[in-house]
Structure 1
Amino acid sequence: FVDKAIDTILGTYANRPNPPEHIVLIGHSVGSVVIFNLLSSRWSITQTKVKLVLSLAGPIYQPG
Structure 2
Amino acid sequence: MALSSSTSYHFDYYTIDLNDEFSGLYGPLLYDQLEYVNSSLYRIFELYGERKNIPKSIVIIGHSMGGVIAKNLLSQNLDPNLISVLITLAAPLKRVPIFFDLHMHNFYKWDNPGHNKTTFVSLSGGYADFFDTSKFK
Q: TM-score, normalised to structure 1's length?
A: 0.78
1:52 equivalent to 2:113? Answer: no
Shift >6 Å, 4+ stretches: none
1:7 equivalent to 2:42? Answer: yes
Deviations 1:27-57 (A, max 9, x none): 00110111112212x1x41422111100011
Residue equivalent to 1:32: 67
Gaps of 5+ in 1: none
1:18 equivalent to 2:53? Answer: yes
Gaps of 5+ in 2: 1-35, 96-137
Higher relative contact order structure (alpha carbons within 8 Å, sequence separation ≥ 6): 1
Q: Distance in 2 between matches of 1:50 and 1:37?
A: 12
On the 8 A contact 1:26/1:55 being kept in 2, the answer is yes
Structure possessing the higher radius of gyration over alpha carbons: 2
More helix, by proportion: 1
